[in-house]
Chains A and B, each alone.
Chain A
Amino acid sequence: MADAQVPPGSPPAPFFAGSDDDEDFAMSEDASHAGPSSASLPQTPRTGASSARSSPPPPLFLHDSDVEKEDSMPVDLPSSSKHPPLMEDNDSDIEIVEQPREQKSSNDTQSSASACAHPNAHSPPATNISKKRRLSADPLPPSKASFPRTYLGELLVPNAWSNVSGKGYVKPNDTVLVKRDKEEHISKPSTAKPKPGNGKKKSDGKKQITLATMLKPQPAKPSKKKKADSIVRLVNSKGFEFGRLPTEVSWWIAKLLELDMVEIRGIMTDCPEKLTTGVSLIVTLHIYLLAGAFKPLKTSGKDEDSVSFGFNEGLETEDEVHLRERKNATVKLFDVLGLKPQAGARSRGKRPQGKIQEEPLKRRSGKKVKEIVGDGEEIEVDDGEDLSNNDIDAIYTKAQHNDRSMGEMEPSESFNLTLRGYQKQALFWMHSLETGAIDAREATSMHPLWSQYTFPQEPVIDGDMIDLTADDKLFYFNSYSGELSLDFPKAERNCKGGILAQISVSMIEMGMGKTIMLSALIQTSMPYQNEESGDTNVHSRVKQLKLNNAFRSGNNRNLQPAKSPSATLIVAPTSLLNQWAEELQRSSKPGTLDVFVWHGQNRLDLEALVDNDSDNRTLKIVITSYGVLASEHAKIKNSQSVKPPVFEINWWRVVLDEAHSCKSRTSKTAKAVYALSAKRRWTVTGTPIVNRLEDLYSLLKFLDFKPWSEFSFFRSFITLPFLAGDVKAIEVVQVILESILLRREKNMLDTDGKRIVELPPKEVVTEELEFTPLERKIYDSIYHLAKRNFEQLDAKGLVGKNYTHILAMLMRLRRAVLHPTLVLIKDDERALSPEKDGRADVNDLIKRFAEDGQTTPDGSNEFAENFMANLKGEDNADCPIYFNEMEVPMVVPRCMHQFCKDCIISHIGICEQRDQKPNCPTCNSGPIQSSELVEIASEPDVVLRQNDFQSSTKLDALIQNLRKLRAQDPCFRAVVFSQFTSFLDLIQVALDRERFNHYRFDGTMDVKKKSAAISDFKSPSRKPKVLVVSLKAGGVGLNLTTANHVFMMDCWWNAAVENQAIDRVHRIGQDKTVYVKHFIISKTIEKRILQIQKRKTAIVNEAFRGSGKADPESIQNLKIMFGDD
């Protein structure tokens, strides 16, 4: 048990070794007493004051100074009494003993008596030299006096040790004072460097406290540079030090004493009559909580801007170190005393004991990764704290656990649309968050980080000091921050606003109507009506965590404008500005909203826009982009004098859309966003945490969600523990998010158990296709090559090294599945000739096949006419092969026999395979070639087309499906996805041939072209339309609900990506059943990709990202790829 509680990496060991020397450099005043020999000399002046009162036995003086005593110990000690050095006696034998009262009864009188005696014992010699050791029973600072010292528990330390030898120091049941050297307040960190001559003992005779020391401001900020010690001295009632606490106890007791958090009274439980250096002492410590423990935590709250970024980022500040040490010590105390919470975070038993310890801080690799934030701003970020999807999952699950039962709220009358149930809930939630009037999520419970404790009864016999009639006193402890409080820590929010996240676990589902929800909020929660109530409410709350936020102070100066804020500012990516404006107008009754898009070169005068005319009740909404904001913010630095109006205005509400744009707190965008001043703040994002926890920080910072908006705080309690592998970090994030995040995903259920969004059904079909023999040949040859290659590499164990190469091979295979020309490097350009659609002139045809002169030029015309007439006249005849109506009639020009395209092509293919001459199946004339066949396209008019386009199985299947669709629904809309733009090219050629109207959307197109493609596709028309989309480009914000047919031409490693693509179509606004068709070629790599999709998708995602590194999992996946069926 003891082992578990003492962190392996915690300070004790090093402290022990070096502490005694180090402690002294802090005592600069003592320097005069320092001398190389002082320690070993018995006749130090140390006893001057205290000895006068207590007449200690002479030997006492021998052992006054600690360090050298220890050093000389082996020499001095008689061999019989030699104890093993205590420092080796590590933490193994600490025991936390709840001593029975009876046993203690005899001690108690003394204990309490000694407690009373404390102040007296030390005050008399106050006139003496400045002794910097401070007794634990220091009088409290006056301000804290309201809280009486309260018993917290007791602790048996069996391995305290003596650092003196001789009789008469102490005997069992004696009161022991537990003392800690008072630290010198170091003005300049640089002076803390130990000076060579300073290392000697010089504390002689100064064990009393001076008044000056007592009046010193509360200590406690250990300079980081100073090497902290953790010596806790045991002093007898006469004031003589006779021993110390072992390091595994002293490290935290020292801290608590330093911080004035506890008072410790010791009882000598057992000790030898004659002390020798190093002998074990058994001491019982009674621990009392002092008012100082309830002091609010402080951080210096430095303006992060002032520090040069990039260097100190990621390092702990002094404050952080301080907070962390305080927390560790407090947590340790609670554990050692065996205090169990009655309610709250720790009572759930979520955290096993021993978890609390601080892992040694892992320094990050420092690897920098470029990311794009805001409007194309490029930043470098550390690549060290990526979250796994599981982590993110866990975080969100908690944040929405009781969302279903949330109340609903009707929007104001000016709102022009009907809200869905979940949107009303969202409105309710957002509104209550803003006003603070109600706690939407029943967060009136205890703050989740806190636990409730009862002060234990002090085991007293005499009872003269303890009021037995007193009620159980409660107090609260935050094991995450180490804070203590007497006030009930209510779960609260300090910011008016929150995060609206509409996403699913895989961050894919968009289109939940967040624009609409915010519009409803803007119109419902207006500045005029509920500003007052909301504000007072918030201010009246007791804030448990008060952090100086220097950052805010800069803005406060500007909060002067007499006008009360009324306008809303919406910041969104440039591409979404107009969409916001449209949506806002659409969702409101005409004339109720004034919406301005503030963007571009000629930006209007903002202040004039926002200026609040007295009788004008329209709501002003300004929409701008991150880019504009960042450039405006840059002006602040250029000209110190005038702030750009956007930062001058005190906004009523600021909404950040796609708020992950400012996820990096050091980016210009983020800084600009922080500089906005607003009463209410919202962030909307699909990904509050993109892939690291600190992504969230930026949002919290903007929301001013204290204390987490303090970076050092966030880092100390979230990032660093997370990096150290501490689950707590995730828990804390959960707690934060629970209070400020509303997350909606499509498949969430509402109060009635129905899905919050009722979407029309989605039918997904996988059509398994067979290669043509030629395609099979091509594919197999590539596959076997790749497989052999892989097996060779695998045999040599070189798969990891050649990972990229293997990925390239796989890529080739995946192309081969789509279309042979995608892998064949040949000069056959036929397939890629989009400029001609292969239409054939009948006359040309006739001429070409009239070489034998059977037809005269005149006759050919006639023939052609007849021929065309025949084609038009009758319905498609049965194909002699297919025995059904011909699907794509083709003519063998030589004999004019007709067949289905498929039938005749495969006939020719098989004949070629058998080395037979392909003849016309009907009349056996021939041989015929596939390229000379003529296709009869009858839409809308009969057209003949040469079969000079090399198609592929998948392409044919797509065209086949589209044809059927056209037959059923002459104005259908379909979306075709593929990952390969080269295949998109081919698809477009095929669509051209089939005379489908088609549009293209891929990543290489600029914004204008993209939006033109989309709007063309969406524009109404009586003709069918097909949109071909590159799988990767069809990402953010694309709304394709006009279509209800989706064709997936290939499969991606990760099914989530495919689903995301499908969700472009299957989302809010879709009113038809969505038909999805995957084309898969049987007996190819595609089947295995599907197999891998079923494995853990997250891992696959990583493994095949093409990062060039191979982990075991991805090699395993490769083996699936090349395995035998």
Chain B
Amino acid sequence: MALPKRIIKETERLVADPAPGISATPHDDNLRYFDVTIDGPEGSPFQHGKFKLELFLPEEYPMAPPKVRFLTKIYHPNIDKLGRICLDILKDKWSPALQIRTVLLSIQALLSAPNPDDPLATDVAKHYKEDEKDAQRVSQEWTQKYAV
């Protein structure tokens, strides 16, 4: 099926006017599949890290949210071992007015502001809740180890 106009437009804009610290490139053979890189936000334990993600636009997009997953290992209470992300706009708070860029920016924001109260990786969340400093240290270590 032909790619909807909207996806084409979004892709064009992502390439022409990328958001700072974020890059998203569609696969040649599947324009619904993007390789994404998000720079760890400054001032966060993920600073200096370059996190790889994959993003897939399902058939129903934009009526349904894109599917996004971290490929790079990350120590974050809202991101599990498999890279799955717990973010409301990727689920029930999705609105068709959102787009790839806003989704990626939200993810970047999530790195700056982990929310251990709505955890996905329960052990990490516990760690963050009990000893945030130590947890951040681990996050930093992981970033050094996997994302640089």
Contacts and interface: CB of A to CB of B under 8 A. Distances in A.
Chains A and B are bound partners: yes
Contact of B95 (A882, A906, A919): A919
B6 A906 contact: no
Interface size bracket, A side = 10 to 19
Interface in A662-677: none
A882 B4 CA distance: 9
8 contacts: A880-B96, A881-B6, A881-B62, A883-B6, A884-B6, A903-B96, A906-B63, A922-B97
A881 B95 CA distance: 9
Contacts of A924: 93, 95
Contacts, number: 33
Interface of B: 5-6, 9-10, 60, 62-64, 92-93, 95-99
Contact of A921 (B64, B92, B96): B96
A769 B5 CA distance: 17
Contact of B5 (A880, A882, A907, A910): A882
A907 B63 CA distance: 6
A910 B10 CA distance: 22
A888 to B, nearest CB: 15
A1035 to B, nearest CB: 39
Contacts of B96: 880-881, 903, 907, 921
B95 A922 contact: yes
B102 to A, nearest CB: 11
A781 interface: no
A916 interface: yes
A924 B96 CA distance: 11
Interface string A921-952: 11010000000000000000000000000000
Contacts of B97: 880-881, 921-922
A12 B60 CA distance: 82
- Chain A CB within 10 Å, residue with most, of B63, B92, B93, B98: B63
A924 B5 CA distance: 24
A2 to B, nearest CB: 71
Given A883-B99, A916-B92, 17 more contacts: A880-B96, A880-B97, A881-B6, A881-B96, A881-B97, A882-B6, A883-B6, A884-B6, A884-B9, A906-B63, A907-B96, A910-B64, A919-B95, A921-B96, A921-B97, A922-B95, A924-B93
A922 B98 CA distance: 8
Contact of B60 (A881, A884, A910): A910
A150 to B, nearest CB: 83
Nearest to B13: A883
Q: Would you list the 9 A-B pairs with minimal beta carbon distance, nearest first? A: A921-B97, A880-B97, A921-B95, A883-B6, A881-B96, A883-B9, A922-B97, A921-B96, A910-B63
Contacts of B60: 910
Contacts of B62: 881
Contact of A883 (B10, B92, B93): B10
Interface string A875-912: 00000111110000000000000000001001100100
Contacts of B98: 921
Nearest to B9: A883
A882 B92 CA distance: 20
A585 B117 CA distance: 91
A658 B105 CA distance: 75
A881 B93 CA distance: 15
Contacts of A910: 60, 63-64
Interface string A991-1006: 0000000000000000
A904 B98 CA distance: 13
Contacts of A881: 6, 62, 96-97
Contacts of B9: 883-884
A882 B93 CA distance: 19
- Chain A CB within 10 Å, residue with most, of B5, B96, B99: B96
B6 to A, nearest CB: 4
Contacts of A921: 95-98
A882 to B, nearest CB: 6
A934 to B, nearest CB: 18
Interface string A844-882: 000000000000000000000000000000000000111
Interface string A288-318: 0000000000000000000000000000000
A880 B60 CA distance: 16
Contacts of B99: 883
Contacts of A916: 92
B5 A883 contact: yes
A142 to B, nearest CB: 93
A922 B64 CA distance: 15
A921 B62 CA distance: 11
Nearest to B92: A916
Nearest to A897: B97
Contacts of B93: 924
Contacts of A884: 5-6, 9
A756 to B, nearest CB: 41
A85 to B, nearest CB: 84
Contacts of A907: 63, 96
Contacts of A903: 96
A385 B106 CA distance: 78
A883 B102 CA distance: 14
A882 B6 CA distance: 5
Contacts of B6: 881-884
Contacts of B64: 910
- Chain A CB within 10 Å, residue with most, of B10, B95, B98: B95
A526 to B, nearest CB: 64
A916 B93 CA distance: 10
A911 to B, nearest CB: 9
A884 B7 CA distance: 11
